[in-house]
Structure 1
């Protein structure tokens, strides 16, 4: 990607936030009913329907790529940004030139993110988490990391890749954990207070990321390592403390470590959700450890994971590891994909964008089959339906983004 001026670089993330992606989860009652009555249904029930749903998804994905590309390339985008940020004529021309290659990369990664969210596996068996914003802390940290340590031009691409990897990590981790738990004695699984457990994990990860930023800034201003470490501890503790007393955590004071009045389906769903949250924590901690120039961050990341580890058994741990590995692989795949895109070959770009998007749809579909018994063709059709939702029900589409 070509180098640009500071003002133009700072505007590139604005193009990312013109785009959104959706996910609508299954209701609590629907989740528990499906988990309770799961049977070993066939992965493919109708070959003809599978071919039709696969073709429909491919067509929908290509159209959505063109949709996001068209928005990014629209002349109105430059005009709007020029008026909002008072760009000079030279800066406006520079922004137009950047868009040629940038829009291909942005459209590709947004298309993959949308497919991942549209077919994302929802395992949460209780109420919609009231601390949901904590899940996006890792995405926010990735923006800071790229802006500070890498090329700011890559902020939208890297941020979307991280977000997609985190979503896939939760999906795969939950599906793996539930699949394994189905084949063992449910009474041997200790039911946790899942809401509090997942909240505590995410809160600690948020504190770790805020603390790492403070530590790096203090080192950059030539504070000693001891003082910077002290700043880390204080800022991380404050972050966790503030989240504990905020209105989002109003239920936290009622948390107990174990609850005994849950069904086997709730145990399955809750354990899968915790495995997914733990996979998210590993992806976030790994991002901090790999991107930070200090050795302290790696030690802190490992220690934070130790603190957040819930007692969810062998299959929960297996799911966590599998999800984290697949999620990290997705991040690498999407970043490498963007490097291969060429602004002069649109059809080649479409083909390069279609492959990872369909791979993500397949991962989601297999996960939904493993947990709920959905056939492959049904899951692919549902993913396609959600992609089209933004055209005929945009408000519902935006609402489901945060579910």
Structure 2
């Protein structure tokens, strides 16, 4: 039974989104009596977000679902510095043009998941470069600098861990937490923003912003973090053998995205359904109680729900249809990853690596030796086997039961 009165905190608690909250009683009372504006920041360091970011996006979705207003902050300004959190080395500095292109690529994800309109709870997307790049250096030092002590900043994990490992931390990165804190001050002033949310690694930065707003303006603002999402096998959420699981189609085909969720560990299905879908809690309880082969029903529900939310309902339907056709062994399916080869053909091991099924030709050779590789329905035992156009205009290459791709001319 939830201890919270507001729909917002009850929803976040029931779905497993809460790790830490500043002054939960006051935030709960505020959310019960008025519309709250809350934000999450995303630095556009790539042309797509990945599913490691999805937990934070879901915080904004839950905020809006509970009748409040979400703000997406695109970190066009903070990305010019780079968040040192969780890193051993300085991030690569990006040009204005690259940052603008990345923001354009990322924006569509939010437009699919959140509702943007002129209503009281309509989402906003704002670039913090609009104010950070206009700040005068001396102005920032005088207005904000007195509220930060080096002693305190050295205790933050993003700084302390880097120094403990004797890795360099540049003065540029040291300023990141000041810039993020200033964002909260600016949003509290201009948008009456009362809540900042993010991953658990952002706790220190969020607290900094809360304290800055209180010291300078006397604002009463709050912070909430979500737990770090890891899989039951101990792996960090969002990583696979072939790399990051990107949210954009351009970086990862919808079938591969769908298949990642379909391959979820049995132990994670219920938790991921709560975190990443709107499937009702009583239905999730039924699905996660399934055992044996029946748990695959829950995995398909998970894959369909997340893919429909992130890529659209059509993409989810196409991916499921492709999976059915492929796993039934009756065809190739239209949505599988595809590798086109020329007249010279390609070695089967190289094809596995090109499709992202293996990370190296050495790993491909091991999988072939284990009998795990099939071309159409024939097991391939020779790592040097050359797939040629005359073998067929379209062939299905499979690694195990879960990875399938097409070899075309």
Q: Which has the larger radius of gyration?
A: 2
What is the TM-score of this pair, normalised by structure 1? 0.24
Q: Which of the pair has the greater relative contact order for Cα pairs under 8 Å at 6+ separation?
A: 1
What is the TM-score of this pair, normalised by structure 2? 0.23
Higher helix share: 1
